[in-house]
Structures are given as structure tokens and as C-alpha cells.
Amino acid sequence: MLALVIGALLVICITHWVYNWRNPRCNGKLPPGSMGFPLLGETLQFFGPSTTSDIHPFVKERMKRHGPIFKTSLVGRSVIVSADPDLNHFVFLQEGQLFQSWYPDTFTEIFGRQNVGSLHGFMYKYLKNLVLNLFGPESLKKMLPEVERTACRRLQRWSSQETVELKEATASMIFDLTAKKLISYDQDNSSENLRENFVAFIQGLISFPLDIPGTAYHKCLQGRRNGMKMLKNLLNERRAMPGKNRSDFFDYVLEELQKEGTILSEAIALDLMFVLLFASFETTSLALTLAVKFLSDDPSVLKKLTEEHETILRNREDPDSGLTWKEYKSMTYTFQFINETVRLANIVPGIFRKALREIQFKGYTIPAGWAVMVCPPAVHLNPAKYQDPQAFNPSRWEGVEMNGASKNFMAFGGGMRFCVGTDFTKVQMAVFLHCLVTKYRWQPVKGGNILRTPGLQFPDGFHIQLMEKTRLMSSHVSLHG
């Protein structure tokens, strides 16, 4: 009898718990949607792979069912997903007032508790200014010749190989350049391979958060531990040997750490280095790989892009001189091409914020403490804003001034957290494309298919054969590939 009573009570408790999970308390009207299974929520569906470059099925199906604002639960957290441009804009506008930057615990485990995305207010602004010291326009002007030399050297090397896997090759190129600027790291003269840790790290970054040996997430955390250990050792080496003038970002950070009354701690400095190394090469290499794939698929876009860059060469007094900042700023079509590439790339599947207090919006209530996931792909592929949104058409950006984010374009984030590395990314992409289309032609060999889980991946890579163009020395007439 007692067993029956205990059993009945258990069933009632579990039923009550499940009911409360599926029907969260709210003072007003929650957006429609499902909270999925207790604890697990709809996490498995969110991480389900998709081979389309359209909006991820997880979001697309729920938008059809519930509209552009819906509720769900991911990795144990209650989340409002927003594919609504007005709500997205409101969330970014109210950063620090009604919302603050927030990422799931799994992200903070990976990026570090003191990472720049988890910091707020004065501390965040302070770090942003630190980074702008390295990636701001004045620094980029000085960096331009080095970016060009790096791109030209790598392309030359790749053209002597039978085939090159573009995602891996561009990631290596960008990582080496960024690591040199940040920490004077030189892969050829180092006993340890720093980038290997980031490769392990990336594979588990957007994966199911199961920390047991063999899982992508476990490898990811191992990659972080190893990468952080190398950065910590480097910091100790610098402290032990002061006065060596390297003038890299690490030296600048060390100076800040040694200032009296500094608000910068060693943990924050190391997390910042880690995030900068990761963010700079992974996202840009994905965008560049996709850019070359788009050029391979569309000869008319390739022709137009090549013409712009060959005009730059023709207008030079000295044909052998390097790119100038003025030439870089004149690449009108190239910037349209980059905008269109990142619009369709949708490398960032979601941008997270947390509601600091209860918020009313369009008849719905967002409870305090709930997360809001702004969904850039749903904005970038909205047919009401972009005609034939799946089509690659750089000319749609003609006459559109894009210096920041807008309600309908958030490839580099939005609001006060607009990505500080945006200009650096554009410089690297534009310079690489300049060197590529003026000196080389190529043909795809294999791969190039896309997988979203929900982040962008090239599961089979994108292999191309790169060939130097035959150039008529008297003029800049080239064979287009």
C-alpha cells in the first residue's frame, strides 16, 4: 500500500514538474512555442545538421508555425528566439539598459568566464578600446602592406601544389598573420603548434555540450586548456625578459597590466587573447572560402570583380608598387561583394542577450532572466527585405552605405557590441581577393558542400587547383578563371 502511495506521489510530482516546464510562469503572455523535454528542451533539434544554406530548419519550421518571435528551451535555458527585425533592433538598442550580453554556460566554459562577450559596462568599453588600438583604421593602414605580402606569398605557394583545400589554407594564413600581430608567434620557429588547439576547439564549439572523452565538446575544452596554457607560458616568458621591443599586442597588454590601479587582470587579458585568435581566423576563413565558391559558380560576378582590381593596377604609376589605402577604399564593387558573401554565409547562427527585467514587446512578455536569441540568418534571408534572398547578387548593395549594422543586416553583430574586428576582416578579404583575381585563375576539384549544425561548416572542405595567369607584359590583359 505504501509503495502505491509513494508511486502515485512520484507520478504526480513528475507530472507537475513536466507541466510547469512546458508552461513557464509569466505575468503576461509568453510568445508561442514549445519548451520541449524537461532539461533537454529542444537542444537536439537546434543542433540537428542541415545541408541547405537557407534558414536552419529549427528556426524556419517554428517561424512557420508560430511567427517570427517564439519561445523554446536550449541547453537548459528558457529562450525567446527572434527573427523579427524590430525586436532585434530593440534588443541591440537597449544593451546595458534592458538587456545584457549573455551566452549559454557551455560558451563561457569554452571562451572563459572573463571573456569579452561576458563582460559589461565600463570593463567591456575598456577592452573594446584596447582591441581598437590593434584593429582600428590607423593600425590597419600600417598593416596593409603586410596583409598583401602574406596573401601573395601564400597564393604563390598554393599555385605550386597540385590542389589546395581552401578553408584550411586560408585559416592557416589568417591565423599566422593574426598570431604574429597579437603575440609575435611564428609557426616555423615555434616548438608548439598553437593553431592545432584552435582546430580542436572549433570542432566542438557549436556542438552538444557533453563533456565526456570522445565527444566534440570534450575535445573543444581540451583545445582551450592547451591553448590557454601556451598563452600563459608566453606571458610568463615576456615578464621574465622585459625590454625586448616586439611592439605587438601582447606587449601593449603587459604594459596595461603593470600600470598602477589597472582594471585589467591576467585572466581577462589571457581570455581576450584567446578570443581574438579564435575569432579572427575562423570566421574570416569561412567567409573567404565561401567567397571563392561564389566566384567559381558565377563567371559574371568574377568578371566584374576582376575588372575592378585590374583597373586599380592599370591606374598605377608604378605597376610594381603595393596596394595603397586609397586604392583599398576605392574598391566599391568588392565591398558589395563582401557584404553579399557575409549576408549569405550567416556564419553566426545566433546572437544572445539576457533580459534584465520583464519586458513587453508587440503584445508579448519577455520575463526577467530569460535569454533572447537574435537570429541573423532569418533577417538576411527574409524575402520581404531581400528580393530572391537565396540568390548571390552583390549588385543589390549598390548605393547602400554600410558602415555598421542595420535592422536588416547584422553579419557583424549590432548595437554597442558591433564587432571590433569588422574592418580587419574586410581588409583581409579585399586584399586576398585583389591578389587572387589579378594574378591567378582556379578550378574547383572537389568538396564545397555546406553543412550547418547550426554553424557553417565545409564537411569535405573546398579543394581547388590554383594556376598563375599568363600575363601579357605590355598590358594587364588576363585570362579569367
Axis crossing angle, helix 137-159 with helix 166-183, rounded to the nearest 10: 140
pLDDT of residue 402: 65
Is pLDDT of 17 > 70? no
Is pLDDT of 480 > 70? no
**Average pLDDT of the chain to the nearest whole number:** 82
| Residue 393 vs residue 121, higher pLDDT | 393
DSSP type of residue 403: S
Axis crossing angle, helix 194-205 with helix 166-183, rounded to the nearest 10: 120
Residue 419 labelled as part of a binding site = yes
pLDDT for 336-362, tens place per residue? 999 999 999 887 888 888 899 999 999
Confidence of residue 320 (pLDDT cuts 50, 70, 90): confident
Confidence of residue 106 (pLDDT cuts 50, 70, 90): low
Is pLDDT of 240 > 90? no
- The lowest-confidence range among 77-81, 249-253, 477-481 is 477-481
Is pLDDT of 19 > 60? no
Confidence of residue 481 (pLDDT cuts 50, 70, 90): very low
- Three-state secondary structure readout of 206-242: CCCCCCCCCCHHHHHHHHHHHHHHHHHHHHHHHHHCC
Query: Domain 49-65+73-468 class?
Result: mainly alpha
Query: How far, in Å, CA of 211 to CA of 218, rounded?
Result: 5
- Decide: helix, strand or coil at residue 464: strand
Q: Which residue has the cell 552605405?
A: 401
pLDDT of residue 191: 52
pLDDT for 401-449, tens place per residue? 766 667 788 877 766 566 777 888 899 999 999 999 999 999 999 988 9
Query: How far, in Å, CA of 190 to CA of 30, rounded?
Result: 55
| Residue 252 vs residue 312, higher pLDDT | 312
| Residue 427 vs residue 238, higher pLDDT | 427
pLDDT of residue 244: 63
DSSP type of residue 360: E
Is pLDDT of 211 > 70? yes
CA distances from 22 to 8, 11, 32, 72, 156 (A): 21, 16, 11, 9, 58
Is pLDDT of 286 > 70? yes
- Decide: helix, strand or coil at residue 472: coil
- The lowest-confidence range among 48-57, 118-127, 333-342, 345-354 is 118-127
Spell 27-42 as b/e; 16+ CB within 10 A means b.
Answer: eeebbebbbbeeeebb
| Residue 189 vs residue 469, higher pLDDT | 469
Q: Where are the domains of the chain?
A: 49-65+73-468
| 441 phi, psi to nearest 5 deg | -130, 165
pLDDT of residue 14: 63
pLDDT of residue 238: 79
Per-residue pLDDT, averaged over 234-261, amounts to: 77
pLDDT of residue 404: 61
Is pLDDT of 476 > 50? no
* Rounded to 5°, angle at Cα 426 from 418 and 332: 115
Is pLDDT of 13 > 70? no
Query: Of all residues in the chain, what percent carry a pLDDT higher than 90?
Result: 33
pLDDT of residue 23: 62
Per DSSP, the chain holds a count of helices (H) and strands (E) of 17, 12
Query: How far, in Å, CA of 65 to CA of 70, rounded?
Result: 9
Confidence of residue 156 (pLDDT cuts 50, 70, 90): very high
Per-residue pLDDT, averaged over 226-238, amounts to: 83
Query: How far, in Å, CA of 286 to CA of 459, rounded?
Result: 12
pLDDT of residue 204: 65
Confidence of residue 167 (pLDDT cuts 50, 70, 90): very high
Is pLDDT of 303 > 90? yes
Query: How far, in Å, CA of 313 to CA of 331, rounded?
Result: 12
